[in-house]
Structure 1
Amino acid sequence: MVEQLSFIFFNESLIFYNLTNYNIQESSSAILVSSSHPYPIQVNIALAVIGTFTSLLTISGNVLVLVSFFVDRQIRQPTNYFIFSLAISDFLIGCISMPFLTLGIYKNQWVLGSFLCDIWLSLDYTVCLASIYTVLLITVDRFCSVKIPAKYRNWRTKKRIIFLVLLTWFVPALIFFISTMGYPLYSKKSNLSLSDLQCDVQWNKNAYFNLG
């Protein structure tokens, strides 16, 4: 009788231990899931789908513009070089900025290492500012075409337009590649946070650097 009771208590203890161990493992898994994905998995999937769809839509739309520019010679007017530059910048945003941003949002961290973090930040800021500068040039071009059409038509040569387009790319690339890759060497702080693996520029936290 005593041996039977001991056997029963042993089995109950074993069952309790297994249940406790299972609950601990389940709790640990829940903590890991919640730390790596702060949002419900449905939200992460929805964000990934929306980001992927937007990226593909951006790429395909600007590819059509670029193909039209190369195929139809009548489109290659000096003023349309601004449109061509804008299509390139937006195409690169769809290829570079959006996919890696979507991946970072889905994973809730940067998983591609410090070097690619620096490259991505430099390219991302460069193409975005180049896009903004190009829109500004298009606005000025339209304004001058309306207000001083004859004088502006004589000034607007192909070489000058190409020079302006190259300038809208050179200035952002010079600013952001030097600042994004150079500032961590100066501040001794990486763009990739080792604590939470977030990829973000460090120079935006320095007020004096931003004013400069």
Structure 2
Amino acid sequence: MNPDSVNFTELLNGEPNPQLDAYEVFVCVLSALTVVLILTLNPICLVVLHRASGIQETTKVFMASLTVSDICIGLFWVLPDLTQYFNRKWVLGSFLCTAIGVASTSLGGLSMFSLLLLTVDRFVAIVYSLRYPTLVTLKKAKTIVAITWSMTLTFSIIAFGIFLPYVISPSAPRKCIVASHYNIYTSIVVSAIAISLVTIFILYMYILNVARQQARRIASQNQISVDLGDQNAPQRVSTKSATTVFIITMTVFICWTMSIIYTVTFSISEAILPPNFGDITDLIFATNSWLNVVIYYLRNRELRQTLHELIASCFHRGF
């Protein structure tokens, strides 16, 4: 047996696992906490979304897509990485290494694409508010999400499961990494993230411009209505939902920036990076998967009220 390999059978048989240093314990604790937060907050968010009646059903579909992708990141990315941190190497086998590589890249993309769909949804709701019910129907929303998930998973399986697969490093530390052509991998990942973020930013700037124009028009109509004694003056168009999406986007940008910098730098030169720096960037990246739920809660009164009612109902049944 290879003396460098450590597996769960050996651990169950009582053979000691190499002792973790302070930094590795810190990473393991943060990883475990991240998994708990992702797998606790996001399922609760799905239940609350299902029960909330004040949110449009089409918007719920896009929010659910983002939430499910966050759950999958916790299950199929952070949790397997946690076993790698505890054992100082990949112990789940070569097949799962390749599968996790496909999952991590596809789920990161799905999280970004779901956010892009949410932005487009808010764009249509504000810019084409009168036509929104016909432009974005529940059936169309579900179809768009299904196509997005199918295309992203298919591309990831072909690109990162066949042509750019993850493998177990032959030298210590034996971790699950991209086998070859890292520059191509970096180009694909960074380009997809950059294009999505730029698109979201442009759409939001357009939303703000339209909102300002509508605000000026409504202000002038209100003044005319007041002069004429009309009490039914038009109300200001709310952009709170679009602002919420923008806040989530900025959170994504902050959480993902370190990982992008690491990916690009690693593709240029491994020597200039601190050891295990990628572990921290991955954790910061994964943190975004539970921060989204916190932002939903803080920004949406309907979700807060529904969650409070759900908790009260649970306590009432419990007692």
1:150-189 equivalence runs, <5 A: 150-183=130-163
Contact 2:62 2:118 in 1 (8 A): yes
1:53 aligned onto 2:33: yes
Please state how far the C-alpha of 1:113 moved relative to its aligned partner. 1.0
1:195 to 158, 168, 171: 171
* Contact kept? 1:92, 1:127, Cα under 8 Å: yes
Q: Which amino acid aligns with 2:182?
A: K
Q: 1 or 2, which has the higher helix percentage?
A: 1
Kindly provide the amino acid, as one letter, of the partner of residue 131 in structure 2: K
RMSD: 2.6
Amino acid in the other structure paired with 1:51 = S
Deviations 1:4-50 (A, max 9, x none): xxxxxxxxxxxxxxxxxxxxxxxxxxxxxxxx67xx62221221111
Which range moves more in the overlay, 67-76 or 193-202? 67-76
What is the distance in 2 between the residues matched to 1:53 and 1:94?
Answer: 11
**Which residue in the other structure is 1:207 paired with?**
184
Match of 2:167, SS? coil
One-letter amino acid of the structure 2 residue matched with residue 132 of structure 1: M
Q: Is this contact kept in 1: 2:125–2:132, CA < 8 A? A: yes
Which residue identity lines up with residue 94 of structure 2 in the other structure?
S
- Aligned with 1:109: secondary structure? coil
The Cα shift of 1:207 comes to 3.5
- Could you report, residue by residue, the CA deviation over 1:80-118 in whole angstroms, capped at 9, with x for unpaired residues? 100111111001111221112233234332111100101
Percent identity over paired residues: 26
The answer on whether the counterparts of 1:129 and 1:172 sit within 8 Å (CA) in structure 2 is yes
Q: Are the structure 2 counterparts of residues 202 and 210 from structure 1 closer, same or farther at C-alpha, using a change threshold of 3 Å?
A: farther
Count of matched residue positions in the alignment of Structure 1 and Structure 2: 171
Distance 1:51 1:41 in 2: 15
Q: Contact (CA 8 Å) 1:180, 1:202: kept in 2 or not?
A: no
- Distance, in Å, in 2 between the alignment partners of 1:114 and 1:132 is 28
Post-superposition shift, 1:208?
9.2
Q: Taking structure 1 as reference, are residues 201 and 116 closer, same or farther at Cα in structure 2, changes over 3 Å only?
A: same
> In the alignment, residue 84 of structure 2 is paired with which amino acid?
G
In the alignment, the residues of structure 2 paired with residue 208 and residue 58 of structure 1 have an alpha-carbon distance, to the nearest angstrom, of 26
TM-score, normalising length: structure 1: 0.71
Helix, strand or coil: the match of 1:191?
A: strand
User: Which amino acid in 1 is paired with 2:175?
Assistant: Q
Question: Following TM superposition, by how much is the alpha carbon of 1:139 offset from its aligned partner in structure 2, in angstroms?
Answer: 0.9
* 1:93 and 2:69 are equivalent in the alignment: no
Larger mean Cα displacement after TM superposition, 171-180 or 96-105: 96-105
Q: Give the distance between the partners of 1:92 and 1:132, measured in 2 at CA.
A: 13
Choose 1 or 2 for highest CA Rg. Answer: 1
CA contact (8 A) 2:97 2:166 kept: no
Q: Is this contact kept in 1: 2:101–2:161, CA < 8 A?
A: no
- Cα deviation, 1:62-85, whole Å, max 9, x if unaligned, reads 011122234456657111100111
Judge which range, 40-49 or 108-117, deviates more: 40-49
Partner of 2:123: 143
Aligned in 2, Cα 1:194/1:50: closer, same or farther, shift over 3 Å?
same
Letter in 2 for 1:67: V
Structure 1 stretches lacking a partner, 5+ long:
1-35
What's 1:122 paired with? 102
CA contact (8 A) 1:203 1:210 kept: no
What residue ranges of structure 2 are gaps of 5+ in the alignment? 1-17, 192-319
Shift in alpha-carbon separation, 1:209–1:69, aligned structure 2, 3 A: closer
1:64 is aligned to 2:44: yes
Please name the residue that 1:84 is paired with. Answer: 64
